[in-house]
Structure 1
């Protein structure tokens, strides 16, 4: 697919600019160690860092009204762990701060910073995420005009509203905006249905989420890294 009249670009964050699973696993390991030190009785409930993730997932299933509110889900699961272990629940807020700090220690993919630097000199860039990453904490905020999150807007991908908000923030019509993301259903289909152009970022062919609907061939760009995106827009072979 050839891009046409792109005047602004929006980016997903997790698994687009950095690998998400390794970040969360490291953050949960950091939180687990802190909890064992500050609230040692949680060891009976949370024998491993992985148990934190399972407890958080169980809590989400028990609280359907919190779906998509990652902050509330993580805080709620930490509080639950402390309550179930007869530990001091007032530790919840500090425990969450420990987790958030570790969650933002991301490792950008090698192509990201050179691409963002090149693109930001030519286009307004907007982050559009269903997650809770803060580019002011991860780094990279100097290249993006704004971060739009599902929690701040009350609208999550693939709903058109969050993409339209990105286009308004960039000062362009939806058709002039290109959205880049790794999730076919949320990023590609959502953007196309909202009237944007879309680029599907498939970094690892063996680790791509299986789309829930047939792939619309020819309606979106397919790239393996952001250097390919720059090249498609008219950039150099190497950044």
Structure 2
């Protein structure tokens, strides 16, 4: 554990989800691959769709509408619709199929078990502070068994901009009836989590299990941890 700033008193702990409480990288790779198989085998018009073509449409859509990056589920649904129409599926059907396909993806990307170590940590922390989650992602917290481990979960989208923007921190503070600066945010990402918290006056714990260098940091975290269990030592 390494301190970069003095740790101020705090009144709540917020967690990022993906790559903080579980290793999301292999999960999302498998989900993406399985989802493409689903699309190719369910819709004959998409039989030639591959990861490269998917990526091209993904990047194109966010260039056309940058706001989509704040709602990853809507972004994915728009990609599916666009691809389906381009590949010859009527728009009226593409809209309907995209809704169904999105639900398939959400099930695939949430098909894993959160490490017991993370669950026990959340339960221990909740004995001392309100514990919440702020995520840019779209994991189904009920499917992965985290729905009852947080006081509440806030996801980007539906008008809330993703971290590092203030929106989710501000909504969390309002729901808790505290100030944003009273939140200690825990996350792995140097921009969305560390910069997002520090730039918005919250404190940031940088979870860095891979011993990554701080080269990409815009602001220093309050402290750095390679093991989330160290959170128990600062209560």
Q: TM-score range by the shorter chain?
A: 0.7 to 0.9
Runs of 4+ in structure 1 off by over 4 angstroms are none
Displacement of 1:178 after TM fit?
Answer: 0.7
Is the deviation greater in 49-58 or in 94-103? Answer: 49-58
Summarize the alignment of residues 130-141 of structure 1 with structure 2, pairs less than 5 Å apart: 130-141=136-147
Partner of 2:216: 211
Displacement of 1:14 after TM fit?
Answer: 1.5
Partner of 2:65: 63
Summarize the alignment of residues 17-96 of structure 1 with structure 2, pairs less than 5 Å apart: 17-44=21-48, 46-47=49-50, 49=51, 51-87=53-89, 89=94, 90-96=96-102
Q: 1:176 to 1:66 in 2, by over 3 A?
A: closer
Contact 2:106–2:138 (8 Å) recurs in 1: no
Q: 1:147 to 1:61 in 2, by over 3 A?
A: same
CA–CA distance in structure 2, aligned partners of residues 53 and 17 of structure 1: 27
Displacement of 1:205 after TM fit?
Answer: 2.4
CA–CA distance in structure 2, aligned partners of residues 152 and 145 of structure 1: 20
CA–CA distance in structure 1, aligned partners of residues 167 and 86 of structure 2: 40
Displacement of 1:78 after TM fit?
Answer: 1.0
Let me know the Cα RMSD of the aligned residues.
2.5
The gaps in structure 2 that reach 5 residues or longer are none
Contact 1:66–1:73 (8 Å) recurs in 2: yes
Q: 1:91 to 1:175 in 2, by over 3 A?
A: closer
